[in-house]
Amino acid sequence: MGVQDESSSEDQGLGWGKSLPVESVQEIVRTDSRKIPHRYIREDVDRPKDTDLYPLQLEIPLIDFSLLSSDKDEREKLHQACKEWGFFQITNHGIAEDVLQRMKAAAAAFFELPLEEKKMYSMASNDLQGYGQAYVVSEQQKLDWSDILFLMTLPIKDRKLNYWPTRVTSFMEVVDAYSKEINRVAKELFANLSLMMNMGKETLQRLHGEMKQAIRLNYYPICSRPELVLGVSPHSDCSTMSLLLQDDEVSALQIQHEGHWVPIEPIPRALVVNVGDIFEAWTNGMYKSIEHRAITNKKKARMSIATFLLPDPEVEIGPLDEMVGDHWPRKYKKFKYLDYIRYTLDRKMEGKSHTQFMKVENE
């Protein structure tokens, strides 16, 4: 997952996966804003086209987070959003505007660093954490028009501080404050969804074991021919749940719904939340992780900040007893999360193809 640099060959990672080093897309654009190397140009069938968009203007469900603890209708709305869409936006989540803006500013400051300074934080050859690009498993595959910085944030003992940029003022303080607030929001969502699944309020959080949290800062440079590339390939997340802070001014995220792509328009201060693969397995497919992608544009670079909630690697995943019955047969097998994360990281992002690992044979 590294940007091309000798330090990326150091084998000092978590052992979860690896990715081949590639050139920084941001640097490609800085050098020649009209250049699009061949490895980024998608086959025609994979290029973003207006004809692939949903024929009607749709919006994913909007959840008022402040009402969840007191309003059964809002909880039901959350439940239906996970069942029917797998994506929703939340407002009134209680994260202070200052915390959101400082997090965005810290991400921008990192990507504004000179390339040689960013390379100081390049990913090792088998580590999840650091600066680079993810899921690059062959020299032939098409690459995403983006650079990332991926960090484990919680629990604190999992942080590898050599990947945390000291050149960005107050970076650790800002990320720490943002991560704790996102964690609070995620736990409240888990509590409400536990109730909607007729379980104890703490059940979903407890299922994680020692719950992990990771953050990915995404940078999407401008592109002179955005119709030829993708900022992020279509994929679903191998998390339990993901929470995204979008760029308020640039629309890029698109999700699959009924065979078409639906743009997710940014709502200032809102968070986009989506069901991950692990939640799909736990609910035996009642909630589904949804394929999504990001497109690029000619006029403005875009940044986003994704947070992933993950089970402990040693936790066994599989459908909960409450989700299996005579009329709802078991669709997913039992597996260790570490085995699943290694399986997914050994493959390029290709829709939901990797989720076959979770499913009962012949399903």
- Cis peptide preceding 155, ω within 30 of 0: yes
C-alpha span between 78 and 186 (Å, rounded): 13
CA proximity to 195, closest of 279, 39, 296, 78: 78
CA proximity to 193, closest of 269, 283, 257: 283
pLDDT recorded at residue 348: 82
C-alpha span between 363 and 359 (Å, rounded): 7
> Would you give per-residue pLDDT tens digits along the chain (363 residues)?
444 443 333 334 456 777 778 899 999 999 999 999 999 999 999 999 999 999 888 999 999 999 999 999 999 999 999 999 999 999 999 999 999 999 999 999 999 999 999 999 998 877 878 999 888 778 889 999 999 999 999 999 999 999 999 999 999 999 999 999 999 999 999 999 999 999 999 999 999 999 999 999 999 999 999 999 999 999 999 999 999 999 999 999 999 999 999 999 999 999 999 999 999 999 999 999 999 999 999 999 999 999 999 999 999 999 999 999 988 999 999 999 999 999 998 888 888 999 999 999 854
Long-range CB contact pairs, 75-84, < 8 A, 24+? 75/192, 75/195, 75/196, 76/196, 78/189, 78/192, 78/193, 78/196, 79/193, 79/196, 82/193, 82/275, 82/279, 82/286, 82/287, 83/286, 83/287, 83/288
CA angle 65/209/19 to nearest 5° reads: 90
pLDDT recorded at residue 127: 80
The backbone torsions φ and ψ at residue 346, rounded to the nearest 5 degrees and listed phi first, read -90, 5
- Running DSSP on this structure, what letter comes out for residue 328? B
> For 201-235, what is each residue's pLDDT tens digit?
999 999 999 999 999 999 999 999 999 999 999 99
DSSP assignment string, 87-143: EEEEE-----HHHHHHHHHHHHHHHTS-HHHHGGGBPPTT-SSEEE-S----SSS--
In sequence order, the 6+-apart residues with CB closer than 8 A to the CB of 358 are 277, 280, 281, 317, 332, 333, 335, 340
Task: Determine how β-strand 241-245 pairs with β-strand 302-310.
Answer: antiparallel
pLDDT recorded at residue 259: 93
For the chain, the maximum distance between any two Cα atoms, rounded to a whole number of angstroms, is 61
Long-range CB contact pairs, 179-182, < 8 A, 24+? 179/153, 179/154, 179/213, 179/215, 179/307, 180/154, 181/94, 181/95, 181/96, 181/99, 182/95, 182/213, 182/243, 182/271, 182/307
pLDDT recorded at residue 15: 60
> For 176-198, what is each residue's pLDDT tens digit?
999 999 999 999 999 999 999 99
